[in-house]
């Protein structure tokens, strides 16, 4: 509902074959029609009929104001229609043009391949804003002390501790909620699910490894769906995880072993 200005809310792509019937198109003119009305305006970002939501049309990844292209603008990339927030509170409403039953479109695009004919781009569908997001409380997971003799070869683990990632107070209405685990200090290319040692660690040759409750190494930097999320009701959810020490060098120097990660949520 209160998404910051300029955030892209949705995208739709139109291939060159759909646009002009060829792998490469030569565009000669673009017209922008705010609110799907009858009068064009400069643009390139124009209003929709939904408060808080604007739209723009991109060719070669760039939005253009109402203009003729001299020479023609050549593109073999898909065209893109974007919905984006404009900084105002987003309200419910239909995207259909003012004269939805007539010829009112948001964008009109001419191509040399089509001659005097053109493509009219309509918007349809309904926007339903959602108030609020989930929260993930900070937590500290304390592993038990593990003697050096408990480790075997490099890659062996010891001192495991179960914990849960809490995702609380998710509102109803989202199609999907995802979470991404990101290690503080960057990802270690040599091992899956292993956190870098933080600066206050005094040990060496040993790190902390994060897995799911089945012992499968955590995947960092990739969104995973909160499967238990219920769009109709919302709610709070727990993701069972496990942390353990892992031997990362032939020689372990005893001491404190600390690592950290963030949990980032994404919404659709």
What range defines the domain where residue 111 resides? 7-127
Same domain, 104 and 185: no
The answer to whether position 2 is within a domain reads: no
- 158 and 229 in a single domain? The answer is yes
List CB contacts of 7: < 8 A, sequence separation 6 or more. Answer: 84, 85
Q: Which of 36-40, 96-100, 135-139 shows the lowest per-residue confidence on average (mean pLDDT)?
A: 96-100
Separation between Cα atoms, residue 113 and residue 121, nearest integer Å: 17
CA distance 204 to 220: 22
Confidence of residue 142 (pLDDT cuts 50, 70, 90): very high
Q: Are residues 158 and 263 in the same domain?
A: yes
Section 62-78 average pLDDT: 93
Q: What is the pLDDT of residue 112?
A: 81
In a domain, 181, yes or no: yes
Tell me whether residue 132 is in a domain. Answer: no
Q: Are residues 114 and 174 in the same domain?
A: no
| pLDDT > 90? residue 86 | yes
For residues 167 and 243, membership in a common domain is answered with yes
Q: Does one domain contain both 121 and 50?
A: yes
261 lies in the same domain as 177: yes
* CB 222, CB 180: distance < 8 Å: yes
- Answer whether residue 143 is part of any domain: no
Task: Give residue 190's pLDDT.
Answer: 66
pLDDT over threshold 80, residue 78: yes
Burial class (CB in 10 A: 0-12, 13-18, 19+), 265: middle
- With respect to residue 251, please indicate whether it lies within any of the assigned structural domains: yes
Confidence band for 241, pLDDT divided at 50, 70 and 90:
very high
Does some domain include residue 136? no
For residues 60 and 74, give the distance between their C-alpha atoms in angstroms, rounded to a whole number. 9
Flag whether 104 is in a domain: yes
Query: 205 and 258: one domain?
Result: yes
CA dist., res. 51 & res. 21, Å (int): 35
Q: What is the mean pLDDT of residues 84-91?
A: 92
87 and 173 share one domain: no
Mean pLDDT computed over 244-268: 94
What's the pLDDT score for residue 53?
95
CATH number of the CATH domain containing 162: 2.60.40.1090
Average pLDDT over residues 113-142: 86
The answer to whether position 135 is within a domain reads: no
Instruction: Reduce the secondary structure of 139-198 to three states and give it as a string.
Output: CCCCCCCCCHHHCCCCCCEEEEEEEEEEEEEECCCCCCEEEEEEECCCCCCCCCCEECCC
Asked if the model's pLDDT at residue 19 lies above 90, the reply is no
Could you tell me if 187 and 238 lie in one domain?
yes
**Residue at a domain's end among 70, 92, 127:** 127
Number of domains composing the chain: 2
What mean pLDDT is reported for the chain? 91
Q: Are residues 156 and 243 located together in one domain of the fold?
A: yes
Query: At residue 102, does pLDDT exceed 60?
Result: no
Average pLDDT over residues 161-179: 95
Model-level pTM greater than 0.85?
no
> What pLDDT shows up at residue 115?
64
Which of 95, 127, 159 is a domain's end point?
Answer: 127
Is residue 204 exposed (0-12), middle (13-18) or buried (19+ Cβ within 10 Å)?
middle
Q: What is the mean pLDDT of residues 214-218?
A: 93
Q: Are residues 154 and 221 in the same domain?
A: yes
Identify the band that residue 103 occupies on the pLDDT scale cut at 50, 70 and 90. low
Of the pLDDT bands very low, low, confident and very high (cuts 50, 70, 90), residue 130 is confident
Residue 116 has pLDDT above 80, yes or no: no
The DSSP call for residue 89 is P
Mean pLDDT across 113-127: 82
């Amino acid at each position: 509902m209160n998404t910051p200005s300029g955030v892209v809310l949705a995208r739709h792509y139109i291939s060159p074959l759909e646009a002009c019937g060829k792998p490469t198109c030569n565009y000669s003119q673009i017209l922008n029609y705010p609110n799907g009305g009858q009068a064009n305006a400069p643009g390139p970002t124009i209003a929709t009929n939904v408060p808080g939501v604007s739209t723009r049309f991109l060719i070669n990844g760039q939005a253009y104001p109402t203009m003729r292209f001299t020479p023609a603008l050549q593109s073999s990339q898909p065209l893109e229609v974007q919905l984006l927030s404009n900084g105002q509170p987003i309200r419910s409403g239909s995207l259909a043009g003012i004269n939805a039953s007539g010829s009112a479109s948001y964008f009109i695009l001419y191509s040399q391949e089509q001659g005097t004919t053109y493509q009219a781009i309509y918007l349809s569908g309904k926007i339903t804003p959602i108030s609020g997001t989930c929260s993930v409380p900070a937590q500290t997971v304390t592993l038990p002390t593990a003697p050096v003799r408990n480790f075997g070869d490099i890659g062996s683990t010891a001192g495991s501790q179960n914990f849960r990632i809490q995702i609380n107070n998710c509102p109803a209405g989202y199609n999907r909620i995802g979470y991404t685990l990101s290690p503080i200090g960057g990802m270690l290319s040599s091992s899956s699910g292993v956190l870098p040692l933080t600066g206050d660690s005094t040990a060496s040759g040993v790190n902390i490894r994060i897995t799911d409750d089945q012992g499968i190494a955590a995947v960092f930097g990739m969104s995973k769906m909160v499967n238990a999320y219920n769009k109709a009701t919302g709610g709070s959810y727990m993701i069972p995880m496990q942390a353990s020490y892992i031997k990362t060098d032939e020689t372990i120097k005893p001491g404190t072993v600390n690592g950290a990660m963030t949990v980032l949520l994404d919404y659709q």
